[in-house]
């Protein structure tokens, strides 16, 4: 494998003078990179990355940037070995930044997509993600987001029979459980709290997207799944800018089925049990 420094040098045509590992998730290795021209950039590599892995991520960042809502780090280059982004100096979450994030996320979602899905498949973490477009959200969510990961989790023994049946029951009723129809929104697609980068400049950015045309409640439910700083401030500002349909809180567990099943595949039965509990909560409304 090409070294991270060599990959950045080849991509940018600029010598690397320093490289320091930084936190970057479980799948990729991340670095703060100092270039010969004095700039500091962010570089991300993955051993044996699938073809277009970084190209898809770069396209997702550009799609979110074009929506004109929450900012993202500028994409400086991407190839099969490395993704290079603008360096954003991290800082603490603050109430003003959280409220701005809520308003800007509403603006991101207001950028309507042509359909549910995307023009190319992608990944969520290390797992492939089918983005084949559909007309309706219920069909897209069931067929592209929940069923593939449920099948694999059951096959791997990460979801028990009773929990699997309850997830299937929720999918059987998804047209009713989904609430009022909404047009496809531009969504981040993997918006857990670790994919919100709080900047030292007092503004939050989105990173590591699985961007597609989806349901805006999915991003909000993902933010809530593992806890996000100042989430109440984010949600209040969002609702003020773009009110959510009645009953949205009762639909949060439905929108959390996908990430819980992804985690069941990756990390085992504890998340499979949580997926079953979420399905039962969704059925209760």
Q: How far apart, in whole angstroms, are the C-alpha atoms of residue 182 and residue 248?
A: 12
Structural contact between residues 41 and 33, judged by C-beta atoms closer than 8 angstroms: yes
Ramachandran category for residue 99: left, alpha or beta (phi over 0 → left; psi -120 to 50 → alpha) = alpha
- Residue 129's nearest CA partner among 194, 203, 189, 42 is 189
- Catalytic residue, from 190, 201, 208, 219: name it: 190
Helices (H) and strands (E) in the chain, counts: 11, 11
The tokens describing 111, both together, are 């950028």
- Residue 184's nearest CA partner among 222, 207, 212 is 212
166 is catalytic: no
Structural contact between residues 184 and 203, judged by C-beta atoms closer than 8 angstroms: no
What is the number of residues in the chain? Answer: 285
Q: What DSSP string describes 188-205?
A: -S---GGGEEEBTTS-EE
Q: What DSSP string describes 139-175?
A: HHIIIIIIHHHHHHHHHTT-S-HHHHHHHHHHHHTHH
Residues designated as active site: 190
């Amino acid at each position: 494998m090409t070294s991270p420094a060599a990959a950045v040098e080849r991509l940018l045509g600029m010598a690397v003078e320093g490289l320091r590992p930084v936190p970057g998730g479980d799948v990729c290795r991340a670095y703060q990179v100092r270039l010969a021209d004095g700039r500091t950039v962010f570089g991300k590599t993955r051993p044996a990355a699938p073809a277009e892995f970084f190209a898809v991520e770069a396209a997702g960042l550009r799609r979110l940037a074009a929506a004109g809502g929450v900012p993202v780090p500028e994409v400086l280059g991407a190839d099969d070995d490395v993704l290079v982004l603008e360096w954003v100096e991290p800082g603490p979450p603050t109430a003003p930044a959280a409220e701005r994030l809520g308003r800007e996320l509403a603006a991101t979602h207001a950028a309507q997509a042509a359909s549910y899905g995307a023009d190319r498949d992608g990944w969520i973490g290390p797992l492939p993600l089918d983005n084949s477009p559909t007309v309706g959200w219920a069909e897209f969510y069931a067929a592209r987001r929940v069923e593939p990961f449920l099948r694999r989790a059951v096959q791997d023994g990460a979801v028990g029979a009773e929990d699997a049946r309850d997830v299937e029951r929720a999918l059987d009723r998804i047209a009713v459980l989904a609430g009022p129809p909404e047009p496809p929104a531009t969504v981040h697609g993997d918006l857990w709290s670790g994919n919100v980068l709080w900047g030292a400049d007092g503004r939050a950015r989105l990173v590591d997207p699985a961007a597609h045309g989806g349901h805006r409640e999915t991003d909000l439910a993902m933010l809530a799944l593992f806890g996000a700083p100042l989430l109440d401030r984010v949600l209040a500002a969002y609702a003020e800018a773009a009110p959510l349909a009645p009953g949205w809180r009762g639909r949060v567990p439905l929108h959390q089925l996908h990430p819980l099943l992804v985690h069941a595949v990756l990390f085992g039965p504890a998340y499979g049990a949580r997926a079953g509990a979420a399905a039962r909560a969704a059925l209760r409304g």
